[in-house]
A and B are shown apart, each in its own frame.
Chain A
Amino acid sequence: DAGVIQSPRHEVTEMGQEVTLRCKPISGHNSLFWYRQTMMRGLELLIYFNNNVPIDDSGMPEDRFSAKMPNASFSTLKIQPSEPRDSAVYFCASINTGMPAQPQHFGDGTRLSIL
């Protein structure tokens, strides 16, 4: 099992640029979650998908953030335009909701720095 795969692992870019983070969930998992982790706010849920459909995006901080899941094996989180306060580690996680006791499996994260 390859696990949840995120790319890139690190991203450094200048304020105002568009940033796209990518996630491939574990094969067979039907729910996908995007989290942001900072020292100040901890691990926050941004949005989650079930069967490729966005279910709860109440954690998305503002309109600059958008997320898509065009198919069961790929999701993107986009920030446009990026700001320094978006600097954080962004994690993707997935589960198979057909297995009720399953925990979420996390990817290795993308460490984003906006200059």
Chain B
Amino acid sequence: QKEVEQNSGPLSVPEGAIASLNCTYSDRGSQSFFWYRQYSGKSPELIMSIYSNGDKEDGRFTAQLNKASQYVSLLIRDSQPSDSATYLCAVRRGSARQLTFGSGTQLTVLP
């Protein structure tokens, strides 16, 4: 079992729809959770971080964390073609410095 698992996709949604991206993790000691967006040929860039159970909203993005079920999700409302990218889930254990990344979900928003 991989430490951090994501559906590889590709996931396609029409413009204006809600895109839902999911991630599960195996290490119950994980404390910090991040969503990175990576455009083709570019480096990962952080779009959301979440540390406690529940929802965290930032503009069109909402991160959801459920530590009991060991999953974290990212919702993108009013999806735009510019949201088309690979979304990487990353997890950090306790006070550790390193991140463990999932393999990413490729999202395509269709105009």
Contacts and interface: CB of A to CB of B under 8 A. Distances in A.
Contact of A95 (B42, B43, B49, B97): B97
Indicate the size class of the contact surface on chain B. 10 to 19
A100 B32 CA distance: 10
B98 interface: yes
Interface in B31-71: 32, 34, 42-46, 49, 51
A91 B99 CA distance: 13
B43 A48 contact: no
Contacts of B44: 43, 91, 106
Contact of A50 (B97, B103, B104): B97
A50 to B, nearest CB: 6
Interface in B79-111: 88, 95, 97-104
A33 B98 CA distance: 8
Contact of A42 (B95, B97, B103): B103
A31 B101 CA distance: 18
A107 to B, nearest CB: 6
Indicate the size class of the contact surface on chain A. 20 to 34
A109 interface: yes
B49 A103 contact: yes
A52 interface: no
Interface string A40-81: 001111001010000110000000000000000000000000
A43 B3 CA distance: 13
B43 A108 contact: yes
B43 A109 contact: yes
B101 A107 contact: no
B43 A45 contact: no
Given A31-B97, A50-B97, A101-B49, A42 B104 contact: yes
Contact of B98 (A48, A103, A106, A109): A48
Interface of A: 31, 33, 42-45, 48, 50, 55-56, 91, 95, 97, 100-101, 103-104, 106-109
